[in-house]
Amino acid sequence: MDGMHDMGGRQGFGAVRYTQNAQAFHADWEVRANSLYAFAVRRGIFNMDEYRHAIERMEPRHYLAASYYERSLTSLATLLVEKGVVTHEELEQRARGQFPLAAPSAPGRTNAAARQHFQPGNRVRVRTDHVPGHIRMPGYIRGKTGVVVGVSPAYPFPDAHAHALKADDEPTYDVRFRSEDLWPNSAESALVHVGVFQSYLEPAL
């Protein structure tokens, strides 16, 4: 889905609020939210792709306004409800207030039927896929051409794995793009590398 989470290259944001030795956590509830979602993953209640997708399904205004760990706990609660572990009503009763959840999921998809293997040095093009469900292809590389610089071990295809569909393992490729190709006349010069699943790629002519 072309969701609010797909932040790469969006304009209008200001300076990074950077401090040296910045903390990962700022409050006890953040530590706990992080541990509770990790606990649910360990218990096999949901996988990381389902977890990421439930964050992406948050209402866009809620997504933007929420802190990182509020997004985490919203995903956790959404999946616990969707998997039938708890009900939304029980969570709201226990929380003594509204407990906003993410929006329902749209259909996912299985691995691309025709997939090709690539080697470092191969030129590849990112397919111009538009899907309603989970996808790990940032919008800024859609349709763009780059060069494979690395191959990673096979992993379940996230577009299926986030939707409880049959997810075959497939390799991911570290693909090098030129920022000038990604945002013509509108980017500072850099090489931008993206981990791209095999199903998203085709050979570049």
Partner 1 sequence: MPDHDRVIQRTATVEQRVEAIQTALDARGMNATEAVEELDHLAQEEWNPKNGARVVARAWVDPPFRERLLANGRAAVAELGLSLPKHHRHLVVLENTATVQNVICCTLCSCTAFTIIGLPPDWYKDLEYRSRVVREARTVLREMGLDLLPEVEIRVWDTTADTRYMVLPAQPPETIGWPEERLAEIVTRDSMIGVARL
Could you say whether residue 43 binds partner 1 (CB under 8 A)? Answer: yes
Residue 198 Cβ vs partner 1, minimum distance, rounded to whole Å: 10
Per CB under 8 A, 144 contacts partner 1? no
Stretch that binds partner 1, among 102-110, 112-120, 123-131, 191-199 (CB under 8 A): 191-199
Does residue 38 touch partner 1 according to CB under 8 A?
Answer: yes
The answer to whether the CB of 96 falls within 8 A of the CB of 127 is no
- The count of other CB atoms within 10 Å of the CB of residue 69 is 19
Tell me the closest approach of the beta carbon of residue 127 to partner 1, in angstroms.
15
Q: Which among 155, 108, 120, 135 has a CA at the least distance from the CA of 200?
A: 135
The yes or no reply on residue 29 touching partner 1 (CB under 8 A) is yes
Please state the closest distance from residue 69 (CB atom) to partner 1, in A.
Answer: 7
Q: Would you say 76 and 91 are in contact if contact means Cβ atoms under 8 Å apart?
A: no
Classified as helix, coil or strand, 157 is coil
Residues 58-97 touching partner 1, rule: CB under 8 A, are 64, 67-70, 73, 76-77, 80, 85-86, 90-92, 94-97
Q: Is 114 an interacting residue with respect to partner 1 (CB under 8 A)?
A: no
Q: Which is nearer to partner 1, 65 or 106 (CB)?
A: 65
The 10 Å CB-count burial string (b at 16+, else e) for 157-173 is bbbbbbbeeebeebbbb
Q: How many residues touch partner 1 (CB under 8 A)?
A: 82
One of 46, 57, 111, 140 touching partner 1 (CB under 8 A): 140
3-state SS assignment for residue 145? strand
Contact 74, 66 (CB under 8 A): yes
Q: Which stretch binds partner 1 (CB under 8 A): 35-43, 106-114, 116-124, 125-133?
A: 35-43
Query: Is 149 in contact with 172 (CB distance < 8 Å)?
Result: no
DSSP 20: T
Q: Are 167 and 161 in contact (CB under 8 A)?
A: yes
* Site for partner 1 contains 99 (CB under 8 A): yes
